[in-house]
Amino acid sequence: MLKKDRYKAFVEYFSTHQPQAETELHYNNPFELLIAVILSAQCTDKRINQVTPKLFERYPTPESLASATPEEVFAYIRSVSYPNNKSKHLVGMAKILLNEFNGIVPEDVKDLQKMPGVGRKTANVISSVIYHAPAMAVDTHVFRVANRIGLTTNAKTPLAVEKQLVAHLPQDKIHIAHHWLILHGRYICLARSPKCDICPLTGFCKYYAQHNTPSALKRKGELEAKAKIAKELKKRAIK
């Protein structure tokens, strides 16, 4: 299958079956989303959604967060990954947001990256989710799924994946394609054991095609048989 046909099939499927895909982070305004995305680095959305309600209640505006100390913020986010660094990032972000952007979350990716805790991925998330800009945030799910499906070729870095996706996806679909890839990777195309048996993309997925050739299936069967024997021998040894 040609790459352009694979992209067409990908866009057509999700445009039909998941036209309203969106982030699973909970937020009420751009400022809250910026906080949530900064906190979500190397942490699950589920955990962030448990932490942010009280944090948003205590610091509802850039002014209130900018006037806080990292130690005060830490008390609200202690259960997320790297809370020490993130508490400093949040306070620093709020100060720059006030001083350089009048408290308004900017759209431009370069402007967003001026704030602590906001790397390229975070900036792309904000730009695409809030402003529907054609920016592609590449996290571990996007990286894995894009490569497995065959949307990207020899893409060894997040930036390489980002560039290929942006170059081949329709401009008006880039912002939502980010969510299509994340959600597919989170619930179906899992890292260790992809659920190919229920995946609707197998008709054009490179990974599926490569792992379901006669030789690949034979090898899979042999490995499963060996694993079964090893398990049985272990059970007997325990007895």
Query: Length of the chain, please?
Result: 239
Q: Which two tokens stand for residue 57?
A: 């209640």
Q: List, in order, residues 6 or more apart from 222 with CB less than 8 Å away.
A: none
Q: Average of pLDDT values for 108-120?
A: 96
Complete domains list, the chain, with CATH: 30-131 (1.10.340.30)
Question: Any idea what DSSP says for residue 22?
Answer: -
Q: List, in order, residues 6 or more apart from 194 with CB less than 8 Å away.
A: 148, 188, 207
pLDDT tens, residue by residue, 1-53 = 889 999 999 999 999 999 999 999 999 999 999 999 999 999 999 999 999 99
Identified catalytic residue from 8, 108, 110, 121? 121
Identified catalytic residue from 139, 172, 173, 195? 139
Active site residue 88: no
Active site residue 95: no
Which stretch of DSSP H or E encloses residue 13?
helix 3-17
Q: Average of pLDDT values for 185-204?
A: 95
> Considering the chain, what is the average pLDDT of its residues?
92
Query: Radius of gyration (Cα) for the chain, nearest Å?
Result: 21
Angle at 213 between CA 183 and CA 193, to 5 degrees: 35
3-state secondary structure of 135: coil
Residue 205 in marked binding region: yes
Q: 232 or 32, which is more confident?
A: 32
Provide the pLDDT for residue 1.
Answer: 81
Q: Render 204-217 in DSSP notation, one character per residue.
A: T-HHHHHTSSHHHH
Provide the pLDDT for residue 211.
Answer: 87
Q: Average of pLDDT values for 135-149?
A: 96
> Is the pLDDT at 222 greater than 70, yes or no?
no
- Say which residue the tokens 């400022």 belong to: 31
- Say which residue the tokens 């299936």 belong to: 217
Residue 199 in marked binding region: yes
- Say which residue the tokens 């067409």 belong to: 8
